[in-house]
């Protein structure tokens, strides 16, 4: 059908500051007619005859100055936004790009809002809402793993699965409608069984997607690691070794690490936020007791606990108390100061280390990753957005109800739950997302994207 004519919007697509090249982008119903008035090609081809996806050199009018650069035309619908798009590639100076942008405004373009190009792409069906969120995750990503997970979202991996489930639900709904519309045919028990089976399978697939969220969350916000154990076992020293620089204050006097000292370590692209805890032991010192309480809280809220013991001293009752706190969490047991132990001590440690010689540190890093995500090289998670998790959770609940209602309640009641599940899934792809959700998502983008 005929697409609505949209006004031309323009923005600088590159970040502010100096650089090799800056890009000014126009999208809308007639960006080429704007280009015609502000670009003088060096070659023989006039702007109106530009072939799409080709770079043409020429003079760009910046209003009070001229720059020499490139112009490219992307023809609708095969463009980022799905509309006609023109880009000017100019020299990378803020005043150059700004002058060229102002010139597009003079010629009728209006200033693009945050994420407005991508929003148009979404509205024109170029990408799903989740895919747009993947782009934002990639751009805003603070670790390589976040970029990787964002790319999986962007490339429609999640929406692909969601759409498959939606298709099954649509089929079930069609079956239910047929049974309701032609009651004289009778609802055979067999078809109710088929419906239940299909719904159960769909629910199972939603649950599988949901189970990936714990991993996705750790990728998005980093893995919180608590280093704990008795004073002087070498926690601060190990932290420094792991981080590769002097961060925590190392001291011989027990109980000096009073505050949680944070450091960030990247392993296989994932951020690990390391917290050193005050040596945990009973003490009469009030300040130290506050530190101990804080340390216990860190252990309780950690995704992963690294327990450190002195390999010469071994463990005792106090350590058992610390390990109790960590119960139920992934745990790495470290026996440190292995350089001081001559004989091969029998231990149940996961790794033997020396913060002095560096022995076992690489293995410790591997263990941090493996205990958090399973073995290396496994597929990254693609369920990293809480919004998607919520929508899937609601879909799961609705499907649970639908399965329970199957054979018990009338089919039109089953249909209501199936419809609700379908709609919840549609919030991920964007089909059923409200205007306010869409606004919120695109407001996270920068101007020019
Ligand atoms: P924390 O109280 O557990 O944080 O322990 P620290 O990191 O402050 O270390 C206590 C003392 O043990 C310091 O004098 C460190 O230099 C020393 N130390 C830490 N790790 C090792 C190790 O692997 N080998 C040896 N020989 N000394 C260590």
pLDDT, tens digit, 9 for 90 and up, residues 154-200: 999 999 999 999 999 999 999 888 887 776 666 666 688 889 999 99
CA of 340 from ligand 1 middle (Å) equals: 11
pLDDT of residue 258: 44
| pLDDT tens profile 304-331 | 999 999 988 878 887 888 788 888 899 9
For a ligand 1 pocket test, name from 240, 242, 250, 258 the mutation site with the most ligand atoms within 8 angstroms of its C-beta. Answer: 250
Ligand 1 contact, 356 CB (< 6 A): yes
With helix as H, strand as E and coil as C, how does the chain read? CCCCCCCCEEEECCCCCCCCEEEEEEEECCHHHHHHHHEEECCCCCHHHCCCCCEEEEEEECCCCEEEEEEEEECCCCCCCCCEEEEEEEECCHHHHHHHHHHHHHCCCEECCECHHHHHHHHCCCCCHHHHHHHHHHHHCCCHHHHHHHHHHHCCHHHHHHHHHHHHHHHHHHHHHHHHHCHHHCCCHHHHHHHHHHHHHHHHHHHHHHHCHHHHHHHHHCEEEEEECCCCCCHHHHHHHHHCCCCCCCCCCCCCCCCCEEEEEEECCEEEEEEECCCCCCCCCHHHHHHHHHHHHHHHHCCEEEEEEECCCCCCHHHHHHHHHCCCCCEEEEEECHHHCCCCCCCCCCEECCCCCCCCHHHHHHHHHHHHHCCCCCCCCCCCCHHHHHHHHHHHHHHHHHHHHCCCCCHHHHHHHHHHHHHHHHHHHCCCCCHHHHHHHHHCCCECC
Check if 311 has its Cβ closer than 6 Å to any atom of ligand 1. Answer: no
Residue nearest atom 14 in ligand 1 by C-alpha distance: 252
Name the band, by pLDDT with cuts 50, 70 and 90, for residue 112.
very high
442 falls in which pLDDT band (50, 70, 90)? very high
| pLDDT attached to residue 236 | 87
Q: What is the pLDDT of residue 278?
A: 64
Q: What confidence category does residue 283 fall into, taking pLDDT thresholds of 50, 70 and 90?
A: low
pTM above 0.85, yes or no: no
Assess whether the C-beta atom of 340 lies below 6 angstroms from ligand 1: yes
Give the per-residue pLDDT at 257: 47
Q: Kindly give the number of the ligand 1 atom that is closest to the alpha carbon of 239.
A: 7
Q: State the closest ligand 1 atom to the C-alpha of 308, by its place in the atom list counted from 1.
A: 3
Ligand 1: atom nearest CA of 240 is 7
Residue ID of nearest Cα to ligand 1 atom 22: 337
- pLDDT class of 297 with cuts at 50, 70, 90: confident
Q: How much distance in Å is there from the Cα of 334 to the middle of ligand 1?
A: 13
The alpha carbon of 222 and the centre of ligand 1 are apart by a number of angstroms equal to: 27
């Amino acid at each position: 059908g005929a697409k609505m004519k949209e006004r031309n919007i323009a923005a600088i697509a590159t970040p502010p500051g100096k650089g090799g090249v800056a890009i000014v982008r126009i999208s809308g119903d007639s960006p080429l007619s704007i280009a015609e008035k502000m670009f003088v090609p060096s070659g023989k081809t006039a702007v109106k005859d530009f072939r799409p996806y080709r770079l043409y050199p020429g003079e760009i009018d910046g209003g009070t100055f001229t720059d020499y650069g490139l112009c490219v035309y992307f023809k609708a619908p095969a463009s980022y936004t799905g509309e006609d798009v023109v880009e000017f590639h100019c020299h990378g100076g803020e005043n150059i790009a700004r002058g060229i942008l102002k010139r597009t405004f003079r010629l009728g373009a209006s200033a693009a809002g945050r994420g407005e190009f991508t929003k148009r792409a979404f509205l024109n069906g170029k990408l799903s809402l989740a895919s747009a969120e993947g782009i934002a995750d990639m751009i805003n990503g603070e670790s390589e793993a976040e970029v990787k997970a964002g790319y999986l979202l962007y490339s429609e991996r999640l929406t692909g699965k969601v759409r498959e489930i939606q298709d099954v639900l649509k089929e079930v709904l069609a079956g239910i409608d047929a049974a309701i519309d032609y009651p004289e045919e009778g609802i055979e028990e067999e078809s109710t069984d088929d419906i239940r089976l299909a719904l159960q399978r769909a629910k199972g697939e939603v649950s599988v997607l949901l189970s990936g969220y714990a991993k996705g969350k750790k990728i998005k916000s980093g893995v919180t690691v608590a280093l704990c154990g008795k004073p002087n076992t070498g926690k601060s020293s190990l932290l420094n070794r792991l981080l590769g620089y002097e961060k925590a204050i190392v001291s011989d006097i027990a109980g000096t690490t009073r505050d949680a000292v944070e450091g960030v370590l990247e392993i296989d692209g994932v951020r690990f936020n390391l917290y050193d805890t005050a040596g945990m032991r009973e003490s009469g010192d009030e300040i130290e007791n506050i530190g101990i309480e804080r340390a216990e809280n860190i252990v309780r809220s950690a995704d992963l606990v690294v327990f450190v013991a002195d390999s010469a001293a071994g463990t005792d009752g106090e350590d058992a108390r610390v390990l109790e706190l960590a119960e139920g969490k992934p745990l790495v047991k470290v026996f440190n100061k292995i350089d001081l132990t001559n004989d091969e001590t029998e231990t149940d440690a996961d790794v033997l280390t020396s913060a002095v010689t560096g022995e076992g540190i690489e293995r410790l890093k591997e263990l941090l990753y493996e205990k958090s995500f399973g073995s290396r090289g496994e597929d990254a998670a693609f369920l990293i957005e809480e919004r998607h998790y919520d929508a899937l959770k609601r879909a799961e609940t609705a499907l649970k109800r639908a399965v329970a209602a199957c054979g018990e309640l009338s089919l039109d009641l089953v249909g209501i739950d199936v419809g609700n599940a379908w709609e919840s899934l549609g919030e991920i792809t964007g089909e059923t997302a409200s205007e306010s959700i869409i606004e919120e998502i695109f407001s996270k983008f920068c101007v020019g994207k």
